[in-house]
Structure 1
């Protein structure tokens, strides 16, 4: 049995567009989006224990262990393991190299939890399918199923309904404006657009085939609220907009722009004002952990 899995990537995602098309009676918003994985990743490291405990061995500023989506997801998986196999899991240590910002709209916490579920499923030999892991993670966060799905996706509902779609093969420049945007503040705003006309996956695919300008489909309905409440987001959108179609990802705060090459990304990053953190990232067609786990399984 494998006793450790180190250097497990938890990639960020970008919302290439994000439309709010309605609201359910329970208050949840109905969304349409395309989620694009990128190669900017947190890195997680897992080691089996002998005492059945689930322990986060590194500090994550601002996130107590009991509230961490990683720990909560692993506890759900441990409960499911107990139900299926009639015995307790051996336990696990989790170390986190955290680089994705919290409140950035990049899905970092959800991605960490998804990576933890996929890695522990293999380490514990729990035997859950990807669909079962997605269902297990959904109550913790609507983005978790996407990261387990693990490829560019046209997303609907509250984030749980996904279809694979071809995204652009490009580089992105991403700016962290230095603020953390709380998602409830955006979705709770009275001026949030909640009635954008629905689109179809073919609308997006046709636009990707026809357009010359990268990243031009649709809009982010949450952006208008975020730029009003958080001026640094507005400033980042305006500045990056001089290099292409700049928009916010998720509920913010990060702002991104697609560019045609790595050299162009380097050029733009070099010009970003010192007050902001900026970096480049490559679009990913598939979650990098999938290959890692498959290769380990073959070796074993």
Structure 2
């Protein structure tokens, strides 16, 4: 079990919604259940889900143990870009789920990693070794911890924004500018609980982008994350009117064919936990991505 504490500053609204919006990992349905079970309190007292949250309220709750999944190692091929005694850097293919969950108990990256090597235990039995995630239909680089000391170091690097995380994103529309920065807070969408959205009072989110190549109706961007919120690139690009091509959740229905969004985690920088060495890794665009670029009608490449 883990205990969470949330001190309200300027958020207002229903208790269940405020708490769900504040934590990416918890749904409103889960929060409502905890409120009904009396394990979530406001200033030490049990409140109803419709309670109106006020500034300076202190909300506490203990997350119940999740139903355990029978997690089994599986002999699934891995594209390992780097490995030492502390960590691995893996190039995840599009279509692979990172860790098991209900409906995805097998065939995940974690199942494959467990077959290959011992992993850190900080994230429990369902997410061993997983320091950060990328979406199922996003391809590219992930760092994985093989022991708890390495996990703590890599997690701290993420929290302190010391990692380099660059993506290639093929997006709808043609950019006039060559580069820019999107600063827009993110939280759960009030209209669709499966989606994230730009919301007032959400978590700070910053995305930098630079045009790599222009096509008729599309643009290839290099995108650098300053923060790492759930679906950050996909939401920010849709927010500025340039959703990621192929994105089934945030993009238009009429988009490029394929098996999901054209988004690839191409560059990952980290500090080796034991030696302190700064390391940078790269993964080329996968074949499905380059094949689509070859089909588009180009304008001109940025050369500055």
TM range (shorter): under 0.3
Q: Which has the higher strand share?
A: 2
Higher helix share: 1
* TM-score with structure 2 setting the length: 0.23
Larger relative contact order (Cα-Cα within 8 Å, sequence gap ≥ 6) = 1
Compute the TM-score of the two structures, normalised by the length of structure 1. 0.23
